[in-house]
Amino acid sequence: MYFEDRAEAGRRLAERLRTQPDTDVVVLGLPRGGIPVAFEVAWRLQAPLDVIVVRKLGVPHQPELAFGALGEDGVRVINNIVVERADLSGAEMARVEQRERAELNRRAARFRAGRPRIPLQGRIAVIVDDGVATGATARAACQVARAQGAARVVVAVPVAAQDALLRLRREADEVLCLEQPSFFYAVGQWYHHFEQTTDHEVIELLARAAARDPRPQPGPAADPPLRDDEVCVRAGKAMLSGHLTIPEHPIGVVVFAHGSGSSRHSPRNRHVAEVLQQARLGTLLFDLLTTAEEVNRANVFDIDLLAGRLVAVTDWLSGQEHAEGLPIGYFGASTGAAAALRAAADPSVHVRAVVSRGGRPDLTGRALSAVRAPTLLIVGGHDHLVMDLNRQAAKAMSCETVLAEVPGATHLFEEPGTLRKAAELARDWFTTRLPTTTAEPEGSA
């Protein structure tokens, strides 16, 4: 079973939950992707909706890989197997926990926008997410709900990995899951449309639920993308998960090579992808490593391995419907930029343009001088070490190379407005160098 989007998944869940006594139920959505699903559930059950904030604890060198999760009221869940395999020290874990606890408190205040938390004492807490891959955050949410006095805890999700459900059943009184596929890559694999949910959307849905406002009438529909699909790509013996988006009237497609500690779900890369899509550029975000490979820190810095994967994915992309014949560019971040440059130097690959954000071109090795595609090196003004490395790389390159500084930005471009500026620089580079002619705006003669 595939879900059209999160709203449809929520409607299906609500049908299965109608046996719950509505007057005793509080629906709790996990932000951000779980809120649109939970909104539909709460609306149809006529139950109050609240947010239950949890934060994943990511392995320092691979933040997308969780070694645990934090919840409100001091709840802490640790996956000792990941801790052991990743060889994490107590100090490393403490630094991550301190940062994520601060972010958890910030998000709780932002999402509730001054509204008090809905009491759970003696009530049924229905915890809703858009899907479950590992279950760490959902388990933390269960413990938070119990700490707040819930008489019964129910977890309701559209889709989940079977092993994660086994762990969840130890925490919840009941687990409702519509689909439990035996072959599970990622939650987004089971949705036709799985765009990132923004903070603004979370706040709006919670406000509408609190005010019992009529649901807004849909406006004129924008042209849907030609493709907006979760995909699986074979690279050697590995199966890699990705998300391919091809907008209407595309002028090219950009393949993302994420850096160490990131994945296709990286909020930073997805933000850049959205900016590119608005300029009629297709995007392919994919995981350079499998879940099993991510645990081994050496793989994250194996540029030969990552570049080989990128070459294989590029070959696959060139034969895809609606992407065939489109000029291709690479967008690399951190170590992913080194992989992108090395792949661009491969004679079997025809890449029209490369953009590096906070990249490590020094890890490209001798292949750096063989890159022929016009290359933009974007570096934060406060990322001094990486700035020096990029200056040296620019001198070693023989293709068109521009070094662009984003003032005030550090390595991750976390400062307000800096990531947007980097995305706009990338957009302008690709739109002027990917097409054979400069793209004209829609409606031009």
Predicted pLDDT of residue 185: 64
Both 393 and 291 in one domain: the answer is yes
pLDDT in tens, 121-151: 999 999 999 999 888 889 889 988 988 889 9
Last residue of a domain, one of 163, 179, 211: 211
Please check whether residues 175 and 72 belong to one and the same domain: yes
In a domain, 440, yes or no: no
Q: What angle do CA 58, 60, 63 make, to 5 degrees?
A: 40
pLDDT of residue 61: 77
Q: What is the pLDDT of residue 444?
A: 35
Distance (Å, rounded) from C-alpha 339 to C-alpha 310? 7
* Same domain, yes or no: 197 and 289: no
Q: What is residue 50's predicted lDDT score, i.e. its pLDDT? A: 95
User: Considering the domain boundaries, does residue 331 fall inside one?
Assistant: yes
Q: Are residues 364 and 407 in the same domain?
A: yes
Task: Quote the pLDDT of residue 88.
Answer: 92
Instruction: Please give the structure tokens belonging to residue 162.
Output: 């079977």
Q: What is the pLDDT of residue 440?
A: 38
For the chain, residues with pLDDT lower than 70 are 1, 19-23, 64, 185, 213-223, 260-262, 436-445
Is 42 domain-assigned? yes
| Burial group, residue 232, by CB count within 10 angstroms (0-12, 13-18, 19+) | middle
**What DSSP string runs through 377-436?**
EEEETT-HHHHHHHHHHHHH--S-EEEEEETT--TT--STTHHHHHHHHHHHHHHHHSSS
d(CA 289, CA 235): 10
Return the pLDDT at 301: 87
| Residue 46, in any domain of the structure | yes
Same domain, 285 and 419: yes
Rounded-to-integer distance, Cα 2 and Cα 189, Å = 8
**Is the model's pTM score more than 0.75?**
no
Same domain? 314 vs 202: no
Element (H, E) at 50: strand 49-51
Contacts of 49 (CB under 8 A, 6+ apart): 26, 27, 28, 29, 38, 39, 42, 205, 206, 209, 210
What gap in Å lies between CA 171 and CA 238, rounded to an integer? 33
- Do 179 and 233 share a domain, yes or no? no
Return d(Cα 327, Cα 354) in angstroms, integer.
12
CATH number of the domain within which 390 lies: 3.40.50.1820
> Does some domain include residue 346?
yes
Which residue segment(s) compose the domain that 156 sits in? 6-211
216 located within any domain = no
Is 195 found in the same domain as 286?
no
pLDDT value for 442? 37
C-beta of residue 356 within 8 angstroms of C-beta of residue 391: no
Out of 184, 211, 238, a domain closes at 211
Domain annotation covers residue 68: yes
Are the C-beta atoms of 242 and 269 separated by less than 8 Å?
A: no
pLDDT at 217: 43
Shared domain check, 241 and 108? no
Q: How far is CA 44 from CA 34, 61, 228, in A?
A: 16, 42, 28
Q: Comparing C-alpha atoms, which of 309, 401, 409, 323 is closest to residue 355?
A: 401
Q: Which residue stretches of 213-334 are H helix? A: 267-278, 291-294, 297-300, 303-317
Same domain, 282 and 399: yes
Any bridge partners for residue 160, and if so which?
Answer: 132
Number of domains in the chain: 2
CATH number at residue 79: 3.40.50.2020
* 86 plus 55 within the same structural domain: yes
In a domain, residue 200? The reply is: yes
Same domain, 376 and 310: yes
